[in-house]
Amino acid sequence: MNIIESAIPDVLILEPKVFGDERGYFLETYRQDVIESRIGKVGFVQDNESKSSYGVLRGLHYQKPPFTQSKLVRAVSGSVLDIAVDLRKGSPWFGKYVGVELSAERKNMLWIPKGFAHGFVVLSTEAVFAYKCDNYYAPDHDAGVLWNDRELAIDWHIPESDIRVSDKDAKQQLFAEVDCFVYDEFKRETLY
C-alpha cells in the first residue's frame, strides 16, 4: 500500500495495490501493520456505509472530546470529493482543508485524524461510501461546521446549486465558533 502525505501532513492518502485480470480484482482495503507503521496504534470499533446520489453533501462532521473519531474512508462505488478541515487551534494548518477525489475505480482512501471535520459530496450519479471509525458514534457529542462557511472557502468541485444537504447540515455552526481541539493535544505523535 502506498501512503502519501497530503498538504496537511496528518491527513494521509492511501493507495492500495490492486491485482486484477480478466476475472476481476483483489486488494487489501485495510492492514493494521501498515497503519501502525505510518500512523501509530489505531483501534477501529465501528464501520459505516452510506449510499447517496449526485450532489448530496454530508458534513462537515466531527465529534467533541472525549468521543473524538479518526476515520479511514473510501468510495465503494462511484466517486466523491472528500474533505478534511483542520480544527486544531495552534496548528500550522488551522482552518485549512484537504480535498481528495475518492473513487471506486482508483480504490484510494483517506485517513482523517481526530481534530478534523469531515465531509464529502457525491460527484458521480450515485456513490456508496464506507468508513472505519476508531470511536463509537456519540449523539450527545456530535457536532459540525457549516459546509459553505465563507471563511473556509471550500471548493466542492460542483455548482453550489447542485448541492443537497440535510436540515441538520444546513444549520451547522460557523468555523469561528468551533472551540474544542488544541493542536498540541491532537498531533499524530500525541494521539497515536
Taking phi over 0 as left and psi of -120 to 50 as alpha, with beta for the rest, 191 belongs to alpha
Question: What is the pLDDT at residue 54?
Answer: 98
Please calculate the CA angle 179-184-187 and round it to the nearest 5 degrees.
100
Give the C-alpha separation, 97 to 140, whole Å. Answer: 25
State pLDDT tens for residues 56-102: 999 999 999 999 999 999 999 999 999 999 999 999 999 999 999 99
pLDDT digit of tens for each residue in the chain (192 aa)? 999 999 999 999 999 999 999 999 999 999 999 999 999 999 999 999 999 999 999 999 999 999 999 999 999 999 999 999 999 999 999 999 999 999 999 999 999 999 999 999 999 999 999 999 999 999 999 999 999 999 999 999 999 999 999 999 999 999 999 988 999 999 988 898
DSSP assigned state of 89: B
Question: What is the pLDDT at residue 180?
Answer: 84
Which is catalytic among the residues 61, 97, 137, 141?
61
Q: Which of 118, 141, 4, 1 is nearest to 70 (CA)?
A: 118
Query: What single string gives the DSSP state of each residue in 3-15?
Result: EEE-SSTTSEEEE
Which is catalytic among the residues 30, 54, 62, 131?
131
Is 131 considered catalytic here?
Answer: yes
State pLDDT tens for residues 46-60: 999 999 999 999 999
Question: What is the pLDDT at residue 189?
Answer: 87
User: Was 179 annotated as part of a binding site?
Assistant: no
Is 141 considered catalytic here?
Answer: no
Give the C-alpha separation, 47 to 57, whole Å. Answer: 19
In the chain the domains, ranked by start, together with CATH numbers, are 2-191 (2.60.120.10)
User: Was 157 annotated as part of a binding site?
Assistant: no
* Distance in angstroms between the alpha carbons of the first and the last residue of the chain: 20
